[in-house]
Amino acid sequence: MKDEGGWTRLDLLARRLTPFLITVTLVIVAQIPMHLPAAVSIAPALALIAVYFWALHQPDLIPAPVVFLTGLLQDILTGVPFGLNAFILLIVYGIVVSQRRFFFGKSFAVLWWGFATLSLVIGALQWLAMSMLMGQLLSVGPLFVEYLATAALYPLVAYVLVLTHRNILQEA
């Protein structure tokens, strides 16, 4: 009889890494710009969606150091000042983890509203930080379009994450 302990451990490790791998994949996918008819290029904050979702549903599988590293990867890929996205994602993670009790058992509409509200505040914070770093007030138009795209994509991305959570992680 074969010892299947190694395969079981490997399976468990793969399941536990799934939230991190999905989040990193979303960071990379978000770098593919969406071109709108008015020649505006936007990149929805897919990593923000993933961090929000996992912080609500499985914060033990995507702890703060992992969120920080994910943000640093996003900083490198987007070319923003090093540490900005890492800081932003950590703020989101901290707020969401601290408010999990409020969101527990609430409807999807409440979770979506929470995400939309938090991402609007975070977008304003990011705009302020970038304006300060650039030494001038940046246009809010592209940021607002990105916010709308991110909020609009939340249900689709959250649905995929829910399926992943139910079908892969619940068995871990």
- Residue 109's pLDDT is 96
- Residue 169's pLDDT is 66
> What tokens does 149 get?
């795209």
- Residue 35's pLDDT is 65
- Residue 6's pLDDT is 82
DSSP annotation string for 20-67: HHHHHHHHHHTTSPEEPTTS-EE---HHHHHHHHHHHH-GGGS-HHHH
Q: Which residues in the chain land under pLDDT 50?
A: 1, 39
**Do 124 and 138 meet the contact criterion of CB atoms below 8 Å apart?**
no
Q: What is the CATH number of the domain that holds 164?
A: 1.10.1760
Separation of alpha carbons 24 and 13, rounded Å: 17
Which pTM does this prediction carry? 0.89
How many domains does the chain divide into?
1
List the domain range (segments joined by +) for residue 69: 5-169
